[in-house]
Chain A
C-alpha cells in the first residue's frame, strides 16, 4: 500500500517515513544541574527537593544554581518575544557550563530542547550554545530511566495511581513513555488508565486566565475522569498541570489530589512515609 503511494508520485520528493530518532543517551555523569522551574520553586519546592534526592541516590552530585529563575515559556507562548528572549538569555548563560541539565517539568525541558531554537532564531552565534543546551537537557523521568538506568526496589504499600502527562511534554519529550516505564518498575504500583487520558488538562499557561470558561470546562472534565479512574491519587511530572488540576480539585472541594511524580517516586524508593 505504502509503495503504491510512493510510486504514484515519482516526481514528488520520495520520502522515507520520518521516524522520530531515538535519543542517544550519554553514560551516567558525575554531576548534574537541576533546573527547578519557577512553578516548582514557589508552589512545589518539596517535589524539587525530592528530585534532588532521587538524583543523589544515584550517586550524582547535584548543583542548583541560585541565579536561575524561569525558562521564559510564559512570555514566549503569550507572544512577548523580546521579554522571553532576555529571560532565556539569562538561563542560557547560567547553564552554559557543559553539565547535563535535569528539569523536573516536561514543558520547561521542552522549552530548552525545542523552543530556544525559535527564540534565538535570529542570533546564529547564540544558536550553537542553544544546541549544546538542547543536547544536555533531560526531563527528570527520562534522565532517571535512560541515563541513570535506575533499578528500584519498591518499598511502598500497594497502591493504584493515575498518570497525567503534560501535552507539550508528551509531544516534545515523550514523558508519557518514560513515566510509564518508571512506574512499571515499581512492583506495588498499579497505573490505571483514565478517560481521554491524552487530552489536555486545560492549563496552557496564560490560556487558563485568558479563556477561563473554556479552560475551566477542560479541567473539570480532566479532574472528573481522574477521579473516576479509581486511582487513589494522580501523579504528574509537570508543575503547570499540577497547579491547574489541584487548584481545580480544591475549588470543587474534592479530597482527590495529584502530586509531583518526583515526590511519589522518592516515597516509594526511600520508604519514607509522609502524611
Chain B
C-alpha cells in the first residue's frame, strides 16, 4: 500500500526521505516518465553533436568571462539600470532580501503580490515571509501554483509540480477549488488561468526572477512559456525582480547562445514562447508597463563560491535543470528528497555555499558519480569533479580547515582510521599479499551480513586463489615453456 507522505512530514535526513520516496510507486512512475520524456526532448533539440558541443563550449566561456569580471559587471549593471530608472538593491542574505522586498511593498501599502516563477524567491522563502506580514503572494506559474495550492515546495527547478500527474492535479483542484475532476490537461490549465487572470489585475506588486541580467544595456531577460511572467512584470504598478549575482552577463550578444542552450537543455525548445527583456519602468509615452521597477541582487553564499577557483564554476549555472533530468538518483527519489530549494546534481553543488555542509551532510555522497550531469550541462560545469571536491571538504577534520562553509560535516576519526589502514594495506606489497592469502583461504568464512551491502546483494565470497597467485603460477609456467622450447 502506497500512502503518500505530505512534504511537511518527510524524514529529516536525505536517506530517510529517499527511502520514503522509493516506496512511493506513483511518485517514481511520475518522475521516470517525465525525465525520460525530457531527456528525449533535449536529445531531439540537439540533433547535431558538433553544434551542441561547440555551443556548450561557447556557453562555458561566456560565463567564465563574465565571472572573471563579476564585480565590474555588477557595478556596470547597477549604473546602467539606475540610468534606465530601475532601483537596484543589494542583499547579502535572504533575510536582507526579504526585508527589502517587504519595505517596497509596504511603501505602496500593498497587500497582494503576484509572482512569476523565481527560484531565488524560493531561496528567500519569500511567500512565507510576506504571509507572516499579511501580504498574500500568489504564484502565477502553473506548476508553482499547483505546489502552492497543495502547500508543497517545488520538486524541480523548471517544472515545480513534475512529481504530480494530471490525475493528482485534477484531484487537488477538485479538493481546493471545488471544480469538477477532469483528466483533460487543457481544462486543468484553463481552471488555473481563470483564477490567476483576476489576480494579475488586482495585484499591487509583481515579483519575478531573472534569467540573465545584461550589464551593457541594463536589461533583465526573462524566459517563460505561459505569459504569466509578462503579466507579473507588466500588469501590477510595481515590478520587483529578484536574482542571484551570478546571473549578470556582459552584453546582449552573449545572451543569444545562452538562451538557446537554456531552452534546448531544459525543455527541448528552440526558444520559449515568451522572451521578456525588461529595461525599465513605463516611459511617459508608453501605454503599459509598471510605474516602478526594482532589482534585488542576492548573494546568499555566492561570493563564498566565487572566492574558490574550483567551486566558482558552480556560478556558471543557468538553471536549466538538465542535470536533474538525466540523473539516475534524482529520477528515482525526486526533488523533495533533497530537502532544499535546489535539488538534483546542481543542488548538491550550489547548496553547500548557501546553507553550509552541516545542513546537507549527505548531499555530496548521494551520487554514484556516473557523470551524466556533467555530460549534459550546457555550460560544462564539471559536476562530478565538484562533488568529489565537496566530499574532500566534508571529511576534513577541523584542524585541516575545510574551505567550504561548515566543511568537515562528515569528519569521523573512525572512518579516517579505516582509510589509513586501507592505505597501509595497499602500499605494502607484503602485507597486501598476506591479506590476499588470508581472504582467499578463509573466504568461506565471509559473514552473510555485511551491513548495507547485503541489503541489496549477497555477500561476495573471495575466490579460492587470487589473481596475484594465479598470474604468478601461469606466467612462471609460460616462462619455463618458453625457455624449455629454446634449449
Q: CB distance B391 to A168 under 8 Å?
A: no
Q: CB distance B468 to A41 under 8 Å?
A: yes
B263 CB–A CB distance under 8 Å = no
| A12-B65, A16-B54, A200-B372 given; A80·B395 CB < 8 A | yes
Q: Which of B18, B460, B466, B471 meets A34, CB within 8 Å?
A: B471
| A13-B61, A167-B368 given; A251·B456 CB < 8 A | yes
- Chain A, residue nearest B389 (CB): A79
Q: Which of A1, A40, A211, A251 meets B457, CB within 8 Å?
A: A251
Q: Which of B251, B368, B458 meets A204, CB within 8 Å?
A: B368
Select the stretch in B109-117, B194-202, B326-334 that faces chain A.
Answer: B326-334
Q: CB distance A243 to B427 under 8 Å?
A: no
Residues from chain B with a CB closer than 8 A to the CB of A56 are 478
Give the dominant DSSP class at A's interface: helix
Q: Which of A13, A45, A218 meets B469, CB within 8 Å?
A: A45
Q: CB distance B422 to A75 under 8 Å?
A: yes
Q: CB distance A45 to B470 under 8 Å?
A: yes
Task: A167 to B365: give the CA distance in the assembly, Å.
Answer: 17
B178 CB–A CB distance under 8 Å = no
Q: CB distance A168 to B371 under 8 Å?
A: yes
Residues from chain B with a CB closer than 8 A to the CB of A255 are none
Report the interface size for chain A: residues with CB under 8 A from the other chain. 86
Q: CB distance B452 to A42 under 8 Å?
A: no
B1 CB–A CB distance under 8 Å = no
B180 CB–A CB distance under 8 Å = no
Scan residues 70-97 of chain A and give those whose CB is less than 8 A from a CB of chain B.
70, 72, 74-83, 86-87, 89-90
Q: CB distance B61 to A69 under 8 Å?
A: no
Q: A5-B260, A207-B368 are in contact. List 16 more A-B contacts (CB 8 A).
A: A34-B471, A45-B467, A49-B470, A49-B471, A56-B478, A75-B423, A79-B390, A79-B392, A82-B423, A199-B370, A202-B368, A207-B365, A209-B451, A211-B365, A243-B460, A251-B458
Q: A-contacting residues of B (Cβ < 8 Å)?
A: 14-15, 18-19, 22, 48, 50-51, 53-55, 57-58, 61-62, 65, 250-251, 253-254, 256-257, 260, 328-329, 332-333, 362, 364-372, 375, 385, 388, 390-395, 416, 419-420, 422-423, 425-427, 429, 432-433, 436, 439-440, 451-458, 460, 462-463, 465-472, 474-475, 478
Jot down 8 A-B pairs with beta carbons below 8 A, ordered by A: A13-B65, A75-B419, A87-B423, A202-B368, A205-B369, A207-B367, A211-B14, A211-B329
